Amino acid sequence: MCASSCWLRLACLAVAVATAGLSERAVAQPKPYPEICREIRATQPTEEAESLYQSGLGEYETCFDCRTDPACRARVISRLTAAVDKGHVKAAWKLWSIYTGDRKLKSESGIWGRKAAEIGGPEDKLQWGRIEAGEGNMESGLRWMNLAADQGHQPAMWDLGNWYLMGTYVDRDYSRAAYWYQRLAELGDGGAMVLLGMHYQGGLGVEQDYARAIEWYGRAAHSKQPNQAPLLLGLANEKGLGGTANYAEARHWYEIAARKGLKTVTCRAQYRLGRLYELGLGTKVSIDRALEHYSRAEAADSFQCWGFYEHMATLYSKGKVVPADQDKVAKFKRLASQSRSGFLGMLLKGRTYPYQQILALDE
């Protein structure tokens, strides 16, 4: 006899099957599934299912010859299969692992991965979606990722946003990336708020809108998660993003950013503070205070701080703000090269960085 939850699950799976043939755009930006499907989560296994799982797992892990003994393996598979039939998600994943690791059974491993995704919660759908995408089955991978994301699973939303941003597994699509970052931002994720602001600042997949960019940076700056929003607000005010420069406001945000404790933010914030004092922007020129901030920037030793390193190489080359020193010129040029190539090389692997124009603001 099938309980009511069983029929709900079947209804949900029918929706999933119906979406399998949708275009990539429709899959990437799904319409909300019925609320009934949103509520389905992996349930706790029954005592009988757990007993079958533990029995199969125990024999598999304790019997030395089980991996090569057909009779032993058959018993394990039989018990785990019975557990899966009773809704045990871990049993399905264990079967997927067993089948994947067996050359003769590997071609059938997908049955169990899909089963785990079907009876499991959003984390299981995410895991199976990642596996499918990694093996080149993008239609299936995206479908499962979207099912997880549509249940409010934030890691799935992050994966989808980042995939479309960088062109991982899929063609680059900044509008789809922005869609998922907005979903995350609306859930209060400070990191997604920063990225969404960058999309509006750069006009990446959305209409360029400096006011909305600053709005999202402001919301991110007041979130509980440490992020680079204060630095970006400082840059927006220093450069007069969408209006006139406000150096006092820029200094305010740089000082907040410098206190955040994130190396990548601290170095760049200290550098920008130094520049304000070196050039007398919104304050009196103070070379001593500028050098103090430059020293703090150097101490932060960030791999994203090539703009600062390049500036220091220029200062030591000209010999006006600081005494000329060719050894330090060489040192800071080397650091700048390592910083720029290391960060972008690690992140991009030959691809274009979409936020490069925003990073360039503090070069």
Does residue 16 register a pLDDT over 70? no
> Does 33 score more than 60 pLDDT?
no
What's the pLDDT score for residue 185? Answer: 97
**Over the stretch 159-193, which tens digit does the pLDDT of each residue have?**
999 999 989 899 999 999 999 999 999 999 999 99
Over the chain, what is the mean pLDDT? 84
CA 195, CA 198: separation in Å to the nearest integer? Answer: 5
pLDDT of 72 reads 85
- Do residues 236 and 214 lie in contact, with contact meaning Cβ atoms separated by under 8 Å? yes
Asked if pLDDT for residue 231 goes beyond 50, the answer is yes
Q: What is the pLDDT of residues 241-264, one digit of tens each?
A: 989 999 999 999 999 999 986 777
> Which pLDDT tens digit goes with each residue over 200-218?
999 999 999 999 999 999 9
**41 pLDDT higher than 70:** no
Confidence (pLDDT) at 352 = 62
Q: Where are the domains of the chain?
A: 4-30+47-150
For residues 236 and 249, what is the distance between their CA atoms, to the nearest angstrom?
A: 10
Contacts 24+ apart (CB under 8 A), 347-355: 348/166, 351/166, 351/167, 354/165, 354/166, 354/174, 354/202, 354/204, 355/198, 355/202, 355/204
Average pLDDT over residues 17-22: 30
- Locate 239 and state its tokens: 């450069």
Least confident of 52-61, 266-275, 296-305, 336-345: 336-345
| Torsion, Cα of 314, 320, 321, 326 (10° steps) | 50
Distance of CA 152 to the CA centre of its chain: 15
CATH topology for 4-30+47-150 is 1.25.40
